Every structure is written in C-alpha cells, then in structure tokens.
Amino acid sequence: MKFIHIADMHFDTTFESLKDNLGEKRRLEQREVFNKMIEYIKTNKIPYLFISGDLYEEKYIRETTIQYINNKFEEIPETRIFIAPGNHDPFLKNSYYNTYNWSQNVKIFSNKIGKISLEDVDIYGYGFNEFYGKTNEIEELEIENKDKINILIMHATLDGSLTLENTYNPVTTNLLKSKGFDYVALGHIHKNNVDKNNNIVYPGSMVSLGFDELGKHGMVVGEVTKEALNIEFINLDPTEFVEYELDITEIPSKESLIENLNNLYIPENNLYKIILKGTRNFEINLQSIIKLMENNKILKIKDETKLKYDLEEISKEISLRGFYVSNLLEKQKSGKYVDKEIEKALEIGLEIL
C-alpha cells in the first residue's frame, strides 16, 4: 500500500519570531506546501494520507482556514485520510475536529486508541483530547490480525522523559517495536528522522517555523507490504532557515562588519541567522547593527565573539588599566554579577583606557 505521512503543519500559527510581514508570507507558503502535497496525491493516486497531529493551532485557527483544509481533502475523494490530533490541535469538545462537517474521506481519532479495518490494512490511531496528555493503552495494545498490514498513527514524544509534569504522550522505541507494527506514523518532533531501515518515523514539520527548525521540510512518501518498507522524504518548503558563522577577528570596525553583512551572498529562498565568532576589535551593539544593515535576508544576529584582550595578563599590570581589570575580574568571580555585564564593562573601560 502507498501512503503519504505528514505532521506539524501548524496552520494559522503566528510566526512570532519573524519580523515585518514575513509571518504572513510564511502562512501563504504553508498553503503552497499543502497544495503541492494534494497535487502529488492526485498525480500519483496515493490511497492513504496519515496526519500525525498539529495540523493547525487551536488557539489561533480560523474557520476559513478549516474550510480551506477541508476543501483540499474533498479534492482527493479516493484518498483515505487519517488524523491523530496533537497537543496543538487536540480533540476538544468545541474544537473543529469535533464540530465541523469534515469530508467523508476523513477519519479523526480521539483519545481512545481506535482501529479502522480495511481490506488489506488495519489502521490504529490515538489523538490528544487536551493540550498535554499520555496514553497507557499503547502498553496493552495487541495487533489483532498480524497477517494484514498494521499501521499506528499518533502524536508522541519518542524516548523522552516520563517524569515531566507536562507530558506529550511519551513512548519508547522498544515498546513500539515490540508491538509489531509495519509502520508507525509519529508527529510532534519538527525534524524528520527518515531512515529506510527504521519504520518508526517522524516526517518533521511540513514548513519550518523558525531557526530552531533548520534544514529541509516536507513530507514522507512510502510504500509498505508485509515484506518490505520503502520510504522517501520529499522537500516541499520553498524557504530554508540557515545558521551561518562569521568570524570577525579580522574585521576592524562596526562599519566594516555591516558592509560584510550587506554583501553576504544568500540564496534567494534562504533566511539567515548570523552567528558572530572570533575576537572582536570594537564594541558590538546588535540592535544598532540590525538597524543599519540593509540585507533583509538576515533575520537574526547572535554575538558569540570574545574580547581580544588577555585579561589575566592585564590584571597583573601595575597601572590604572591593570587595577580596573583586576577589580572587575574579582566581581565576576564573586558570582554576584552577570557575565555579559562584566564583559561589556571590561570592553568599554579598556577602549577608554
């Protein structure tokens, strides 16, 4: 049987970390990506679509977006769609999962493990019914017909802590493997773990939500039989978030740094977070640099540079400079002051002295 597996679309998320109108652009790109998937299903006549939670943001979702999603589902009436709600789109009493008139080809699982029996496959699923949760039913679950293809769909934390107060359905790899499913379609982790030798799969988020989700994003396309599993990750997201390290040791001034940033080549569809490395020769004020910089493909800058001075050697000098550094280093060692504040005081004071 052929299938597509997606998760963590987060329709109507706010993209709070993106500046200006980029959040609106990303919401349009979410639809672009979703449309690509629907067209792929049509072209390749994919009979099954597994959605492992967080399809939308319960807190922000609009009915018009639900209508859009459902209209897309109605475009593929021959495809059976199975949704296991996650912690961002739980199956609440008043949620759209519970109140909306979904297309006939859509099955939405609740917080009790359900099973849908079809001619050649049994599909099991579990969905959140609140924003945190866990199920112990998976431990008791037994596959009823091992001669058929057996699929499990759910939103879960794989091999995470079982002791956290706010849990997101923690399960272990060993437990899932012991159940004997031919494919386990997971959601919740936004980075894919696609490996042709592994049948417990996170597809990752369909579009990146920010710089904590680097790399390619899209969907998993697969074919499973009782004898074999073939899966492939297909990139769909037109935008990639990238971290880039820039060594500024040889850059003499703020003006030169801004020139370097403005001239940095960035591929058209990429958005960059610049991490400044090395030793600095001037005071770095990130707000000032970002304000003056013209390269709008750079969204964030992080300063991980170090002072160029050998502070221990300077602290031994019999001079005003040595006394100043020695005094600040003692304050730093006391633990009563924030390291960044001490470092800034050292930088400004040494430049003056």
> 187: domain CATH number?
3.60.21.10
Q: Could you read off the pLDDT tens digit of each residue along the chain, which spans 353 residues?
A: 999 999 999 999 998 878 767 889 999 999 999 999 999 999 999 999 999 999 999 999 999 999 999 999 999 999 999 999 999 999 999 999 999 999 999 999 999 999 999 989 999 999 999 988 788 789 999 999 999 999 999 999 998 765 555 578 889 999 999 999 999 999 999 999 999 889 999 999 999 999 999 999 999 999 999 999 999 999 999 999 999 999 999 999 999 999 999 999 999 889 999 999 999 888 889 999 999 999 989 999 999 998 777 788 888 889 998 899 899 888 888 887 777 788 878 877 877 87
Q: Which of 235, 261, 276 is the last residue of a domain?
A: 235
Residues 178, 195, single domain; the answer is yes
Residues 199, 123, single domain; the answer is yes
Q: Any residues with CB less than 8 A from the CB of 270 and at least 6 apart, and which? A: 239, 240, 241, 242, 297
Residues 177, 278, single domain; the answer is no
What is the chain's length? 353
Residues 66, 12, single domain; the answer is yes
Residues 333, 278, single domain; the answer is no
Residues 132, 24, single domain; the answer is yes
Residues 101, 150, single domain; the answer is yes
Distance CA 103, CA 81 (A): 9
Query: Which pTM value belongs to this model?
Result: 0.86
Residues 284, 333, single domain; the answer is no
Distance CA 89, CA 84 (A): 9
Distance CA 8, CA 96 (A): 17
Structural domain that includes position 327: 309-353
Count up the domains in the chain and report the number: 3
Determine the residue type at 159.
D
Residues 304, 318, single domain; the answer is no
Residues 336, 225, single domain; the answer is no
Q: Any residues with CB less than 8 A from the CB of 131 and at least 6 apart, and which? A: 58, 87, 88, 90
Distance CA 37, CA 49 (A): 10
Residues 252, 196, single domain; the answer is no
Residues 201, 265, single domain; the answer is no
Q: Which of 199, 219, 235 is the last residue of a domain?
A: 235
With contact defined as beta carbons under 8 Å apart, do 262 and 292 qualify?
A: no
Q: Which of 203, 219, 235 is the last residue of a domain?
A: 235
Structure-block tokens of residue 221:
């396309």
